[in-house]
A and B are shown apart, each in its own frame.
Chain A
Amino acid sequence: MPQAPPPLPLEEIAASSTEGDEQPPFSLFERLHLPFLTWWGSSAEQEFLGKLLHEDIERALLELPEVFRLPAVLCDLQGFHYPEIAEILGVPTGTVRSRLSLGRLLLQKALWEQAKDRGLTPVPDLPAIKPNDEAP
Chain B
Amino acid sequence: MNEISLINCEEALRRLFDYLDRELDETRCREMEQHLKISRACYSRAEFEKRLKERLAALGSEQAPASFRRRIRQLVADF
Contact = CB atoms under 8 A, between A and B. Distances in A.
Interface in B15-47: 17-18, 21-23, 40-41, 44-45, 47
Interface residues of B, number: 30
A100 B79 CA distance: 21
A45 B47 CA distance: 10
Contact of B48 (A49, A58, A74): A49
Nearest to B18: A97
A101 B17 contact: yes
B21 A82 contact: yes
A49 B72 contact: no
Contact of B22 (A40, A58, A81, A87): A81
A54 interface: yes
Nearest to B21: A75
Contact of B40 (A40, A73, A76, A79): A40
Contact of B53 (A54, A76, A88): A76
Contacts of B72: 74, 78, 88
Interface of B: 17-18, 21-23, 40-41, 44-45, 47-49, 51-53, 55-64, 68, 72, 75-76, 79
